[in-house]
Structure 1
Amino acid sequence: MGITRSSVLCFVIDTTGSMSDDIEEAKRVSFSIIDSRRGTPEEPSDYILVPFNDPDFGPLTRTTNADEFKPRISSLTASGGEDLPEMCLSGLQLALTGAPPYSEIFIFTDAPAKDSYLKSSVLALIEKTHSVVTFMLTNALSARRRRNSGIDDNQGQKFSSRIVSAQNLLYEELAQASGGQAIEVSKGTLPKATDIIIDSTTSALVTVFQATRNAGQSNLTFVVDDTLRNLTAYITGSALTFTLYSPSGKLHL
């Protein structure tokens, strides 16, 4: 019908000190996403960057040129933010209000949200703008922060598990509401998630089924039309054990 809609690619990146191990990988993954769209029908019309720290977030920068945009990401450094939670939802809210509808937003963080009270506002913006939000989540509690808090390693690991479970659930809810993903990875396996992100955000992708599973065994069932091709299942999280069956009961994995 002659209707076109240009896409906008937005990156919201945690720049607190605990990201010192992650920020270079966050840059690399961002560059991979940008390069995967160049010269394709999904090439963005604009690029947006929103860094966040604690207590600051922003500013939002925007450009139409990928070659000008990459150096802005490259210039990010990790520092500050001595306590655990960061201003993640404030950064996301700024991105959602500054980007046009139907934008793709990628968030890189290793910490829970200090501003979780913004959840309802962020959900309303996601619904209004139809933007897709994907979170890349690494370890939520670093050894440095445990030491600064006076928590020993064993206590820190238990505390970290509770924090990750509760806070990643918030990120998972926001991602699922937008049709995006919340991908939990360790700092060392962040590079392996790049292909998942790129594959799952192409324009030809149709989401057949998406769900967040709570801890414990459970069965999930979804229907696949016989006209679909190249069906791919993405299962993310920690300590994963799963079995995939066809409707005939045939074991696939």
Structure 2
Amino acid sequence: MNDDRSSLVFVFDTTGSMHDDLEQLREGAEMILDTALEHRDVISNFVFVPFNDPVVGPPTVTQDKEVFKAALNVIRIRGGGDCPEKSLGGILMALKVSLPRSYIYVLTDATAGDHRILPEVLDAVQRKQSQVSIFMAL
């Protein structure tokens, strides 16, 4: 196994306001997943971390595309109605379970409400040297 391989990670806001965005998440994840599989020498595993208020996780970590897709397909949208959400907690969990130099995609429609852990998240990003991309649904 090549030690330079990374994780492909999705961190997804599962609060009620994301209901309309769920199908787009699945479609986008499928496209990114298919692209990643074309470069299997770069991606070693797949990680999915849901976050809600107040729960973050549990993470799904797998090398099996079908297990990853199944995790996306059983997402339960619930709760919400308030902002902000625990997106930083989701990012931190993703960083803890993913490989170094990973590609982390965060999908939410709310600002982060767990700012107290920002220094820990920034430290983990630097230590892991991962790329974190945040997409805000409108």
Question: Which TM-score bucket, shorter chain as reference?
Answer: over 0.9
Could you list the per-position Cα deviations for residues 96-121 of structure 1 after superposition, in whole angstroms to 9, with x for gaps in the alignment? 11112111111000001110121111
Match of 1:183 in 2: none
Q: What is the Cα deviation at residue 39 of structure 1?
A: 3.0
Q: Give the letter aligned to residue 129 of structure 1.
A: K
Q: Distance in 1 between matches of 2:125 and 2:104?
A: 11
Q: Using structure 2 for the length normalisation, give the TM-score.
A: 0.93
Does the 8 Å contact 1:55/1:81 carry over to 2? no
Match of 1:93 in 2: 92
**Per the alignment, in what secondary structure is the counterpart of residue 5 of structure 2?**
coil
Q: What is the Cα deviation at residue 77 of structure 1?
A: 2.4
Match of 1:21 in 2: 20
Match of 1:30 in 2: 29
Q: Distance in 2 between matches of 1:43 and 1:102?
A: 10
Tell which structure's C-alpha radius of gyration is larger. Answer: 1
Q: Which runs of 5+ in 2 are unaligned?
A: none
Write out aligned runs for 1:1-253 (5 A): 4-41=3-40, 44-139=43-138
Identity of aligned residues (%): 36
Q: Number of residues paired by the alignment?
A: 137
Q: Distance in 1 between matches of 2:42 and 2:34?
A: 9
Q: Distance in 2 between matches of 1:35 and 1:107?
A: 18
Does the 8 Å contact 2:62/2:68 carry over to 1? yes
Q: Distance in 2 between matches of 1:40 and 1:99?
A: 18
Does the 8 Å contact 2:4/2:42 carry over to 1? no
Q: What is the Cα deviation at residue 41 of structure 1?
A: 4.8
Structure 1: which 4+ aligned runs deviate by more than 2 Å?
A: 39-43
**Per the alignment, in what secondary structure is the counterpart of residue 80 of structure 1?**
coil
Q: What is the Cα deviation at residue 82 of structure 1?
A: 2.3
Q: What is the Cα deviation at residue 40 of structure 1?
A: 2.6
- Structure 1 residues 60 and 36: CA distance shift in structure 2, 3 A: same
Larger RCO: Structure 1 or Structure 2 (Cα < 8 Å, ≥ 6 residues apart)?
A: 2
- Structure 1 residues 137 and 35: CA distance shift in structure 2, 3 A: same
Q: Distance in 1 between matches of 2:21 and 2:114?
A: 22
Match of 1:158 in 2: none
Could you list the per-position Cα deviations for residues 187-219 of structure 1 after superposition, in whole angstroms to 9, with x for gaps in the alignment? xxxxxxxxxxxxxxxxxxxxxxxxxxxxxxxxx
**Per the alignment, in what secondary structure is the counterpart of residue 38 of structure 1?**
helix
Q: Distance in 2 between matches of 1:74 and 1:83?
A: 25
Match of 1:219 in 2: none
Structure with the higher fraction of residues in strand conformation = 2
Q: Distance in 2 between matches of 1:126 and 1:45?
A: 19
**Per the alignment, in what secondary structure is the counterpart of residue 12 of structure 1?**
strand
- Structure 1 residues 5 and 43: CA distance shift in structure 2, 3 A: closer
What do you get for the CA RMSD once the two structures are aligned?
Answer: 1.4
Match of 1:155 in 2: none
